[in-house]
Amino acid sequence: MRRHRLAIGLGVCLLVGTVLCTLWVYVEDWLPVSYVPYYLPCPEILSRYPQPKLLEQRPTELLTLTPWLAPIVSEGTFNAELLQHIYQPLNLTIGLTVFAVGKYTHFVQHFLESAELFFMHGYRVCYYVFTDDPTAIPQVPLGPGRRLGIIPIQRHSRWEEISTRRMEIISQHIAKRAHREVDYLFCVDVDMVFRNPWGPETLGDLVAAIHPGYYAVPRQQFPYERRHVSTAFVADGEGDFYYGGAVFGGRVANVYEFTRGCHMAILADKANGIMAAWQEESHLNRRFISHKPSKVLSPEYLWDDRKRQPPSLKLIRFSTLDKDTSWLRS
Amino acid sequence: MLHARQDLPGDFWGKSSKSWLFLILLFIASFGFYSNVFNWIPRWRQREVSQSCEAHHLQGQRESPPLSKGDCCPDTCRVPRVPRMLYPKAHVLQPPRVDVLLMTPWFAPIIWDGTYDSAILDAQFRNTTIGLTVFAIKKYVVFLKLFLETAEKYFMVGHRVIYYILTDRPADVPQIPLQEGRRVVILKVRNYTRWQDVVLHRMEMISNFSQQRFLHEVDYLVSADVDMKFSDHVGVEILSSLFGTLHPGFYASDRQRFTYERRPLSQAYIPEDEGDFYYAAALYGGSVAEVYRLATACHQATLIDKANGIEAVWHEESHLNKYLLYHKPTKVLSPEYVWDERMLRKPPYLRRLRYVAVPKNHAQIRSR
């Protein structure tokens, strides 16, 4: 009798399992493509922007499109209000990672305060601060829908080591946590400050920023890694732009793939006993040649305040803080 | 498995707790087994893949190239990898064209000659299948030969292409020699007495076939008019989640002069102070999911208009313009991509004519 009951029990379980699976498969069948209502109920908002002018003369302008048709974002190329109306209803959460290791924790206060003013205003934001000293991270008042996550990491003796570990840490963090919490993720340096609005115009599948020091020079002068033995090697005739390692981002899945790819390349170099000329920035540049970004941010989004602002850059949004690097890295 | 009997609340089976645990584990294992079995069936897996990317697509719909996503296409799912290539570097301070607008305010590139690098784009779109839908109803079958011959020369050369010919006269479809990786699929559809009805029902047919067929066979859909011919390169630079083409008659006009539907009763109504561009119905497309949404929306709007006893002034083109106003395309094709040489004088900034009208006698061709 015992065995019969066991058999019946097993049979019931299998039957229930089958029914659930079949139901799941066919429920998906009932909804092949979800139908989005097409006529928005608020035409008066959309009418307030001027008609785009197709034929116009623009003498001094930044490039607006890369050769693979990725937009280059700069002031004047987009209508912020229109983008707001497009992105706001999507209920997006945007993540922002920074590394504050050792003395770099001093920058967090200023960074977060400026981010609160200018970064993705009106959206849900998750700040991820990676630090070796969680107690040194100050309490900064955050707006509604914005929160801060402090993630402890291990400190290394050499600052280059800390720098190259960032890719690994970001990819692991995405796999463990960020993929569930955010839709888009940006990875930036902490020793910087937001000076003007940074909004949904920066959102894209995979986003890179042009380095402020090299946007006007030919590719032979880019500080790519030039030693053949490195995985970050870039030959003389290759390269689109020199991207800054201080800003990159995109959809969280793509950022995961990107950081993992860079991390693997860094590991390969480590096994060969070599470190790239500009650490992970070299690897980032190597990867962006073969996996071209879908959106590029002009140097407005990554500026060096020590440089004179040219007329082609109208609005600096994110730039360096003057600092004494020797003291910081000691 | 012999265990001492234990007193459990509601003790129906009379088993020990270890047996219960065994049963639960077996249930979970069988559930896992079944889900794996379904995954092995290729059609299910394909549908799963397309639906997970669909979710991505719907989520990231408004981005640059905006309004992307759906089927697993380069726009949404993964960043495509390109091999080592040598090409001249772009200059940040020197745009390739200063005489025309290259990007809309919502980051959709406007495709003009000289703004893109075909080599890079071909590498990014290398595993893509493109479907080209064309309607040849009643006498319009005569245009098919020239259309297909020129498409073989200029349209998506080097990529996999499926020509979907929607016709009521399958026997009259000419046999054209096709390149490697390209094939013709003839889909029989019904005709209508009035040519306006023929045009209005195109959206319905595209919507139906998208769901039935196109979703499983191609990544991108391009819908083109048949009474035209390709005269220059039309390649993967046009591909994105949703693209429209600037009508050659209105690209330089103010929005008040666009021939939108101006009667508020119609679903295609657009007020005088709205509108970005006037898009031509002769060439539009995108990912299959987006084209499906567009076609369904336009078809629904047509039905509502019919119920209200009104027909939009330019039929499906009016509905297309309404849709693209509220669902901004992710790429916009310049008038290079739809032109009529007899009706318009070619301006200097139009460097290439890629897809042009074929002369026809309207009265004769639209009759029975």
Report the candidate in B128, B125, B131 with the shortest Cα–Cα distance to residue B224. B131
Coil, helix or strand at residue A11: helix
Q: Does B105 touch chain A (CB under 8 A)?
A: yes
Give the separation between CA A192 and CA A194, rounded to whole angstroms: 7
Number of Cβ atoms within 10 Å of the Cβ of B320: 25
Chain B nearest-CA residue for A70: B65
| Dihedral sign of CA atoms A192, A195, A200, A205 in order | negative
Low-confidence ranges of chain B (pLDDT < 50): 1-11, 38, 41-75
Residues A55/B99, Cβ–Cβ less than 8 Å:
yes
Residues A166/A245, Cβ–Cβ less than 8 Å:
no
Cα distances from B5 to residues B14, B16, B22, B26, B111, in angstroms, run: 7, 6, 16, 22, 78
Q: Does A207 touch chain B (CB under 8 A)?
A: no
What DSSP character marks residue B113? Answer: T
pLDDT recorded at residue B49: 38
pLDDT recorded at residue B14: 54
The residues spanned by each domain of chain A are 68-224+241-252+294-329
Which residue range is the domain that position B212 belongs to? 96-366
pLDDT recorded at residue A326: 55
Coil, helix or strand at residue A185: strand
Residues paired with B234 in a beta bridge: B155
Give the separation between CA B263 and CA A138, rounded to whole angstroms: 60
- How much is the pTM? 0.80
Q: Is B311 marked active-site?
A: no
Q: Which residues of A touch B87 (CB under 8 A)?
A: 67
Q: Is residue B168 part of a domain?
A: yes
Chain B nearest-CA residue for A85: B62
Compute, in degrees rounded to 10, the torsion defined by CA atoms B84, B88, B92, B98: -130
What DSSP character marks residue B173? Answer: P
pLDDT per residue over B141-151, tens digit each? 999 999 999 99
Q: Does A41 touch chain B (CB under 8 A)?
A: no
pLDDT per residue over B153-178, tens digit each? 999 999 999 999 999 999 999 999 99
Report the candidate in B263, B360, B366, B356 with the shortest Cα–Cα distance to residue B318. B263
pLDDT recorded at residue A184: 95
Beta strand ranges found along chain A (DSSP E): 72-73, 93-100, 124-131, 146-152, 184-188, 192-194, 206-210, 243-251, 295-297, 318-320
Annotate B235-260 with b (16+ C-beta within 10 A) or e (fewer).
bbbbbbbbbbbbbbbbbeeebeebeb
Chain A nearest-CA residue for B289: A33
Instruction: Measure in Å the smallest separation between the Cα of A143 and chain B Cα atoms.
Output: 24
pLDDT recorded at residue A289: 94
pLDDT recorded at residue A243: 95
DSSP string, B39-78: HHSHHHHHHHHHHHHHHHHHHT-SSBSPS--SSS-TTTS-
pLDDT recorded at residue B36: 55
A68-224+241-252+294-329 CATH pick, 3.30.1490.100, 3.90.550.10, 3.90.79.10, 3.40.50.300:
3.90.550.10
CB contact under 8 A, A87 and B62: yes
B48 is in an annotated binding site: no
Out of A201, A280, A281, A300, pick the active-site residue: A281
Q: Is residue B148 part of a domain?
A: yes
Specify the DSSP element, H or E, that contains B162: strand B160-167
CB contact under 8 A, A16 and B27: yes
Specify the DSSP element, H or E, that contains B308: none
DSSP string, B133-150: EEEE-GGGGGGHHHHHHH
pLDDT recorded at residue B13: 52
Give the separation between CA B334 and CA B337, rounded to whole angstroms: 6
Number of Cβ atoms within 10 Å of the Cβ of A295: 24
B41, B47, B56, B64: which to substitute to probe chain A, counting the most A Cβ within 10 Å? Answer: B64
Domains contained in chain B, number: 1
- At CA B73, angle to CA B117 and CA A294, rounded to 5? 50
pLDDT recorded at residue B84: 86
Residues B325/B267, Cβ–Cβ less than 8 Å:
no
Q: A90 exposed, middle or buried (CB, 10 Å; 0-12, 13-18, 19+)?
A: middle
CB contact under 8 A, B326 and A46: yes
pLDDT recorded at residue A147: 94
User: How far from chain centre, in Å, is Cα A74?
Assistant: 17
Least CB-CB distance to A56: which of B96, B101, B301? B101
Q: Which residue has the tokens 């995979």?
A: A206
Residues B273/A47, Cβ–Cβ less than 8 Å:
yes
Q: Which two tokens stand for residue A26?
A: 């066919």
Phi, psi of B203 (to 5 degrees): -60, -40
Q: Which residues of B touch A56 (CB under 8 A)?
A: 99-101
Residues B92/A63, Cβ–Cβ less than 8 Å:
yes
Q: What is the mean pLDDT of chain B?
A: 83
pLDDT recorded at residue B62: 35
**ipTM score assigned to the predicted complex:** 0.79
Q: Is residue B281 part of a domain?
A: yes
Give the separation between CA B258 and CA B91, rounded to whole angstroms: 36
Chain B nearest-CA residue for A55: B100
Instruction: Measure in Å the smallest separation between the Cα of B116 and chain A Cα atoms.
Output: 4
Q: Does A295 touch chain B (CB under 8 A)?
A: yes
DSSP string, A242-264: -EEEEEEEEEHHHHHHHHHHHHH
Please identify among residues 141-160 of chain B the ones whose CB lies closer than 8 Å to any CB of chain A: none
Mean pLDDT by 10 residues, chain A (330 residues): 77 81 63 37 49 69 90 92 90 94 90 95 94 91 94 83 86 93 95 94 95 90 93 91 95 94 93 87 94 95 91 91 62
